[in-house]
C-alpha cells in the first residue's frame, strides 16, 4: 500500500514539473494596416517558414489566402507537413491570411440582386461589386508591405473559397498578371446570373497565359436543401474553354463526397498535389 501511495503522490507532482518547461507553439503573427483604398483598417496574419530565420539569404514565394480567419491554420499545417523534414513535395511559402470584413462587397465582381437560383426577389437591392477595389488593396497596398517586410521572391499565389473562389477566378480572367498561381475552391459562379462563366470565353480569347497555373476544386455532393441554378456554362468553362487556353497549366477536380462547406481543406491539399508535386 505504501508503494501505491507514493506513486499517487508523484502523479500529483508531475503536472507542475511539466509546466515549468512549457513553451508556446506559434504558427504566425497578427498585423493590421490602414487601407487608403478601402478606407478602413484591415487585419492580416503572417506565417513564416520554419527555416526563415536560420537561412537569412533564402527568399520565399507568398500565398495570399482569402478568408484567412477560417483557413489559415489548416493551410499552414498542410504547407509545413509537405515542405519540411523528409517530405519536400511543395515549396515553403510565406502565408498571408487576409481577415474578411465584408465578403460580398470585396469578393464579387459586379453588383447583383439575384440569388443562387438566378431569380431576383421583388424589392431586392443589388449588393457587391467591389472586387476591383479590393484587388487594389491586395496588390498595391498589402503586397507592398509584405514585400518590404519579408524576404519574398516575387512569386505570388492566390487562394480563395466560395466568394473568395469567385474573386480568385475573376482576378485570373481579368487581371491575370497580378498572380502566378490561382487556386479556387467551389467558386460562387452563380453570382449575377452566372455572368463570369458567360464572359469567360471572351476574356481568354487571344490571350496568352504562359507561366500561369490554375486549379479549381468543385464540390458535387447533392444539396437537396438548397435551390441552385443549372451551371451548364460553367461545365463548358471547365471542360472546354480552360483546358484549351493558351499557355495555361489547368487542373480541375470534382469532389462527390464534399459539399460547399467541406471542400476547402481537401481541395487545398489536392490543389497543392496537382500544382506542385
Q: What is the pLDDT of residues 74-123, one digit of tens each?
A: 999 999 988 876 667 788 999 999 999 999 999 999 999 999 999 999 99
Q: What range defines the domain where residue 272 resides? A: 26-111+128-276
Strand partners, 42: 33
Residue 134 lies in a domain: yes
Nearest CA-CA partner of 55 in 80, 92, 20: 92
Q: Which three cell numbers stand for residue 274?
A: 496537382
Residue 9 lies in a domain: no
Cα(239)–Cα(230) distance, integer angstroms: 16
Average pLDDT over residues 11-22: 58
Q: What is the predicted pLDDT for the residue at 236?
A: 87
Residue 5 lies in a domain: no
- Give the CATH number, domain containing residue 88: 3.40.50.1820
Q: What is the predicted pLDDT for the residue at 198?
A: 93
The DSSP result for 239-252, as a single string, is: IIIGGGSTT-EEEE
Which residues in 77-132 belong to E strands, given as ranges?
Answer: 94-98, 111-112, 127-128
Confidence of residue 15 (pLDDT cuts 50, 70, 90): low
pLDDT beyond 90 at 204 = yes
> Considering only 79-83, 92-96, 175-179, 255-259, which range has the smallest mean pLDDT?
79-83
pLDDT beyond 50 at 47 = yes
Q: What is the predicted pLDDT for the residue at 228?
A: 62
Average pLDDT over residues 227-253: 85
Confidence of residue 157 (pLDDT cuts 50, 70, 90): very high
Residue 39 lies in a domain: yes
Residue 13 lies in a domain: no
Q: Which three cell numbers stand for residue 63?
A: 500565398
Higher-confidence residue of 233 and 55: namely 55
Q: What is the predicted pLDDT for the residue at 85?
A: 66
Cα(170)–Cα(65) distance, integer angstroms: 15
pLDDT beyond 80 at 193 = yes
Residue 151 lies in a domain: yes
Q: How many domains does the chain have?
A: 1
Residue 240 lies in a domain: yes
Share of the chain above pLDDT 90, in %: 78
Residue 79 lies in a domain: yes
pLDDT beyond 60 at 232 = yes
The mean pLDDT value of the chain amounts to 90
Average pLDDT over residues 170-178: 97
Amino acid at each position: 500500500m505504501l508503494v501505491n501511495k507514493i506513486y499517487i503522490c508523484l502523479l500529483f507532482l508531475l503536472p507542475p514539473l511539466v509546466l515549468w518547461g512549457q513553451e508556446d507553439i506559434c504558427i504566425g503573427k497578427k498585423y493590421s494596416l490602414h487601407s487608403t483604398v478601402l478606407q478602413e483598417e484591415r487585419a492580416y496574419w503572417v506565417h513564416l517558414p520554419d527555416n526563415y530565420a536560420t537561412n537569412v539569404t533564402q527568399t520565399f514565394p507568398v500565398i495570399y489566402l482569402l478568408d484567412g480567419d477560417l483557413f489559415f491554420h489548416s493551410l499552414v499545417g498542410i504547407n509545413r507537413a509537405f515542405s519540411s523534414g523528409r517530405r519536400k513535395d511543395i515549396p515553403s511559402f510565406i502565408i498571408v491570411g487576409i481577415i474578411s470584413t465584408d465578403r460580398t462587397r470585396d469578393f464579387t465582381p459586379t453588383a447583383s440582386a439575384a440569388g443562387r437560383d438566378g431569380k431576383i426577389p421583388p424589392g431586392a437591392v443589388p449588393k457587391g461589386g467591389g472586387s476591383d477595389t479590393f484587388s487594389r488593396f491586395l496588390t498595391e497596398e498589402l503586397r507592398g508591405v509584405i514585400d518590404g517586410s519579408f524576404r519574398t521572391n516575387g512569386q505570388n499565389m492566390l487562394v480563395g473559397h466560395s466568394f473568395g473562389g469567385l474573386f480568385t477566378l475573376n482576378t485570373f480572367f481579368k487581371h491575370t498578371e497580378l498572380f502566378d498561381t490561382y487556386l479556387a475552391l467551389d467558386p460562387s459562379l452563380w453570382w449575377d446570373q452566372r455572368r463570369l462563366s458567360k464572359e469567360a470565353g471572351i476574356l481568354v480569347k487571344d490571350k496568352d497565359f504562359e507561366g500561369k497555373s490554375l486549379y479549381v476544386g468543385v464540390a458535387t455532393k447533392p444539396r437537396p436543401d438548397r435551390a441552385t441554378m443549372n451551371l451548364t456554362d460553367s461545365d463548358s468553362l471547365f471542360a472546354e474553354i480552360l483546358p484549351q487556353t493558351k499557355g495555361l497549366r489547368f487542373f480541375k477536380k470534382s469532389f462527390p463526397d464534399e459539399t460547399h462547406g467541406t471542400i476547402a481543406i481537401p481541395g487545398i491539399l489536392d490543389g497543392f498535389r496537382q500544382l506542385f508535386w
